[in-house]
A = this chain, B = another copy of it.
């Protein structure tokens, strides 16, 4: 087994012992707890067994408000799901995907055990479910994503990215990169891996000094600044998150890059100009499949004949609806596409796909770092928002980490060029045997 993977696959002891309730909660948290309330009915127990069956019978048990346990006594549970009251039980039965998250956030559900390991266990069990099974029907019922029209996108993006740069600064790297990092080797720090990711992208695009780049969805602007500073290109970066654009402009100015990087607060659909390269890192998840052909037209319109493009996006092995809780509470309008769905961007314009790389495990490692920093800052985050917010984001980060390991979440980096461009790299040596900048 690949050493790095082995290394990655161990949950780092780093945050393993964290004692925040609900996150790898201590057994004594439950031992000390005064259980109370009327005993569970036969119907209650049947519902809980039905829920376990619907989830593919994962090795977990329910711990009820009165201290009673429900589940397969034969197996040693990876974790116990504590239900604080009967309402939590019923909400779980009505819509598990949505209400597990809501009840966990409000503290009506606690996990006695390691949250990430628990979630991985759930994902692995449901992976074995046959298509059209109970769980899968439940999921497909709850996957209606919000619109990504010009106005819809602005609302969707605002609700996630505009909740405060101060908050993100507490647990992202110093460059404020909120996408999958590239751990060239497993010993890299998050800071190093985010820089390595930006270089990986620039090398794949074979950027040359003096070229022009358009970026669709630039976050806090780190990649645009990196390309301008280290690759000598001029960048025009689009973003509809007001808070992020303000931050990006100030930082570019402070770093003397405002002459070579222009941040535009506008929708990708309004990109105008003629560029050597198109790049989009972590925006496609917010575009929506029905807008992919439109995105393809935008890219085709703004690329020179010799132009190259790179799209970096979370993806799926097989098309299925977004988790209802994530879509509703964390990422309205978000959807991770399959490779086949991503082709709806490129095929109508007859782009040639040059390279696809899957960085799934790198995202698991990235989330591991974010979660560790998030937990360390949880008291300050609590002061900024409230306990429900902290628990919701803890679940989102832990659940994403588990999904990249044990579910079918992927991270695709896709490089493409115009159909008739024969000035494409002869091999991929330039990515791996990098010898500094090519001449202009």
- Contact flags A124-153 to B (C-beta < 8 A → 1, else 0): 100100000000000000000000000000
A422 in contact (CB, < 8 A): yes
Whether A184 is near chain B, meaning CB under 8 Å from some CB there, is: yes
Does B184 contact A2, Cβ atoms closer than 8 Å?
no
- What residues on B are CB-neighbors of A428 within 8 Å? 357, 428, 431-432
Q: Flag if A317 contacts B4 (CB, 8 Å).
A: no
Q: Taking A339-B339, A410-B353 as contacts, is the C-beta distance between A347 and B361 under 8 angstroms? A: no
- Say yes or no: is A406 at the interface (Cβ < 8 Å to chain B): yes
> If A340-B343, A432-B429 touch, does A423 touch B317 (CB 8 Å cutoff)?
no
User: Are A347 and B420 touching (Cβ within 8 A)?
Assistant: no
Residues of B within 8 A of A425 (CB): 2
Docked-complex contact B5 and A423, CB < 8 angstroms: yes
Nearest chain B residue, comparing its CB with the CB of A4? B426
When C-beta atoms are compared, the residue in chain B nearest to A356 turns out to be B356
Cross-chain contact B354 with A358 (CB below 8 angstroms) = yes
CB of A247 within 8 Å of the partner chain: no
A385-407 contact mask (Cβ, 8 Å, vs B): 1 or 0: 00000000000000000000110
The range of chain A's interface size is 35 or more
User: If A340-B343, A356-B355 touch, does A423 touch B1 (CB 8 Å cutoff)?
Assistant: yes
Q: Which of B184, B339, B352 contacts A343 (CB 8 A)?
A: B339
A353, B343: Cβ atoms closer than 8 Å:
no
Interface assignment of A290: CB less than 8 Å from any CB of chain B: no
Provide the residues of chain B in CB contact with A9, threshold 8 Å.
Answer: 422
Chain B residue at smallest Cβ distance from A206:
B2
Interface pair A2/B356, CB less than 8 Å apart: no
A412: chain B residues within 8 A (beta carbon)? 353
Q: A338-B343, A339-B339, A422-B405 are in contact. Are A351 and B317 (CB under 8 A)?
A: yes
- A356 to B350, alpha carbons, bound, how many Å? 17
Contact of A347 among B4, B338, B347, B352 (CB under 8 A): B338
Q: Are B2 and A423 in contact (CB under 8 A)?
A: yes
Task: Give the chain B neighbours of A344 by CB distance below 8 A.
Answer: 340
Report the nearest B residue to A358, measured CB to CB: B354
Q: Which residues of A contact B (CB under 8 A)?
A: 1-2, 4-5, 8-9, 124, 127, 182-186, 317-319, 338-340, 343-344, 346-348, 350-358, 360-362, 405-406, 408, 410, 412, 419-420, 422-429, 431-433
Not counting A127-B420, A350-B408, a sample of 5 additional A-B residue pairs whose C-beta atoms are within 8 angstroms of each other reads: A2-B423, A186-B426, A340-B347, A353-B358, A353-B412
